[in-house]
Structure 1
Amino acid sequence: MIGFPNQMRSFDEDAGTFRFSGYDGVMEVRFVLEAPALEQIDGIARSPDTDYLAAFDRRRGQIESAAIRAYKKNRKNLIWLSIADF
């Protein structure tokens, strides 16, 4: 089962994506979340003042649940998450 002991996350503004990691045992699984997905699930609008990391933290439970479901479907070391995963 995948877990998320490391709460680190980052936002790449140029790419419009978030990056975070989970672990399946000792294997690291990297996740990429598209910003439009977060905008939809959190109800935020993209703007220079948008605090995406705060929005990510508010929705961390939902994001991790979506990440777990996506990982169960496709056990790769890089999982890309879009709105379809929510």
Structure 2
Amino acid sequence: MALDFPNHSRSFDEARRAVRFSGYDGMQQIRFFIEAAALAKSNGWDSATTASEAACLAAFDAGRASIQDIARVIYSRGRHPFYVLTASDFPGR
């Protein structure tokens, strides 16, 4: 089956400094995190450590389609309990 993102919910994980979101492969939930540093890179911020929760969530919402596209690519490389998207996963930004 293909990875799909029918649920638009996302949340900020302070401990990981990342936005958490989920996709589904059939009935199986697949967990993803995108680090604040990756969001900072894609938005031209000076520092991911100073980015607020609201800024990270807004950046995720603005880049949702491309983030989900990268998540699909990473998911297709192999099955894991969860995936962490980093700045290196977003070349050319």
State the 1:12 CA deviation. 1.9
Q: Residues of 2 paired with 1:37 and 1:57: CA distance?
A: 14
Unaligned runs of 5+ in 2: none
% identical aligned pairs = 41
Show the counterpart of 2:75: 71
RMSD, matched Cα: 1.6
Q: Residues of 2 paired with 1:71 and 1:14: CA distance?
A: 23
Tell me if the contact between 1:42 and 1:59 (Cα under 8 Å) persists in the aligned partners: no
Tell me if the contact between 2:36 and 2:51 (Cα under 8 Å) persists in the aligned partners: no
2:59 corresponds to 1:55: yes
Aligned positions, number = 86
Q: Residues of 2 paired with 1:14 and 1:23: CA distance?
A: 24
Unaligned runs of 5+ in 1: none
Q: Which runs of 4+ in 1 moved over 6 A?
A: none
